[in-house]
Structure 1
Amino acid sequence: MRLKPRVLATKSLDAEIEQLFRDRFDFHIAGDSSVASIAEAVRQVNPQGMVVRDDLPEAIAELAPSLVHIARHGSGVDVIPVQACHEAGICISRVPGGNAVSVAEWCLSQVLSLLHRIPEITHATRRDGWIAQALSHMLSIGLHAQVTVACRRPDAFRAEQTSLRFIALSQAQAALPDTEVLIPCLALSAATAGLINHQWFEALPARAVFVNASRGEIINESALCKALIEQRLAGAAIDVVASRSLGENAALWQVPQLIITPHLAGHTADAHRRNGAACLEALSESLLRGQCPQAAINPEVWPQAVRRLAIDRG
């Protein structure tokens, strides 16, 4: 009887999906999500397939000579050394839109919170008491902004009528003076790293709010902090930071009118299950049925991946 293909996940999956993986594969999970722990698990398991939720070691191809398919548990592939994998003949798949609704819901919830001045009012109420804030803010709270959103999924709340406007990235800066809500939904690349800078925040009207759940590296964080401190921006909410995590003494915690959440916008049960199921199907295609995954971003390497798999199976 042929052995089950070896699959390594960098982190635990939805419980039901995880059981399906165990039924179909020789399934393993890394000890923790650090690069060092993942590297050690890769050396021990020498997986043929991987489910990736965290940053992979740059030398993943050398660490796992049997690896033929990396299934990204999500859409962004910046956690994978794509070029090195491509050169080694390792197929990479992803889940386009796997957590799109969840992220859109988070973005819209932060927009509503900022436009209704909830963080400011909560802080002031704790400081000054209930009655003073109820009276002073009663007439000033409301959603009146016409929102310009650079977001792929504005229908997360199933709105029948919207005032959303879609623009190309090349046109974005020209649109900033009329923008009241800015949500960059961008993949991290050489073209987008540091894109949202001082010029962008200076061009926005002072009443504007900024919400980011894509990648922290696309923002110049010092420019964002400066705009908030100088009150050239009404508020901001970020789910991601350039350093991937924040220590308790990080300067961002002290910035006024800034909501920070720890990269949880897409972490809902539905998104978790959807991404896991997509990875299960992709790895079943490649390792069980010998087919190139439909969601592969580099299908041209599949013949090379097949040869790697044949060598591993002897």
Structure 2
Amino acid sequence: MSQKKMPEVGLGLWKIAPEDCAQSVYDAISVGYRHLDSACDYGNEKQVGEGIKRAIEDGLCTRDDLWITSKLWNTYHAKEHVKPALERTLSDLGLDYLDLYLIHFPIAQQFVPFETRYPPEWFYEPDAAEPKMEFAKVPLAETWQAMEALVDDGLTREIGVCNYNSALLMDLMNYASVKPYALQIESHPYLTQEKLIKLAKGFGLKVTAFSPLGALSYLELNMAEQNESVLVQEAVKAAAARTGKTEAQVVLRWNVQRGCAIIPKSSKLHRLKENLDIFDFSLNDDEMQAISALNANKRFNDPGDFCQAAFNTHCPIYD
């Protein structure tokens, strides 16, 4: 087990174009980021590795300074595919080990060989007349057991899960021999997830909030509207005015202050700096409560919605 702690702010690498990714990683490390959140499915792990390599070669950091997370894709859930999937990720990243490896979704899909398509994404056969997702009969307990073996093999220091609900998390804690280190979930002021976060922390897990700025992560995917931005809310604007910080910094601070790590994404240098600069102020209790009160259980990243729309397959994982 690692004695290192996951930094509270990391760089989320989802949707950073491969051609921009190496420089974004290098820039992030240069301004102080030490936590990088990657995944096979993001399709840019080779470029992430290039950025890491250059940063280390230039003396900006050592490997041990960095916390690198990646994720097991849905098509690799069967026990015989878990280790090769991580080995491919390590090869792409140019690393000997990860700090944290997560099950990306509690969704098992049919295996797609690396040589057929990598990353395999959601469709089983994209060129079929009516392409769709194809599920595999792999219990999550089998996948977790294979994840535990990765720790024993020294390929990752910690393991954890993404996008689990409370029932799945409670079930996991009943069969896990190696306890999960972290739960990563969508969480922002419109989706506070307080019950799930309280449960995870009660089990001793770290919680990472992805899409911590809510709708801003989804505008370019047409999965959110501009008017759904939490940054225009009066509670956020008032806190920004009092603290002299930006609305985005207030929202990020809210998540960190309630005990979550965050992984905002940006490829712009000034935004990278801004997103990291949230430790010289605090929100007061009234501000924390007012921002939390914006909760509307509004989920932007919901397979129950986007899988039907984009992949012709009904695939809800939240009720």
Q: TM-score, normalised by structure 1?
A: 0.29
State which structure, 1 or 2, has the greater radius of gyration over its C-alpha atoms. 1
**Relative contact order, higher structure (CA 8 A, sep 6+):** 1
Q: TM-score, normalised by structure 2?
A: 0.29
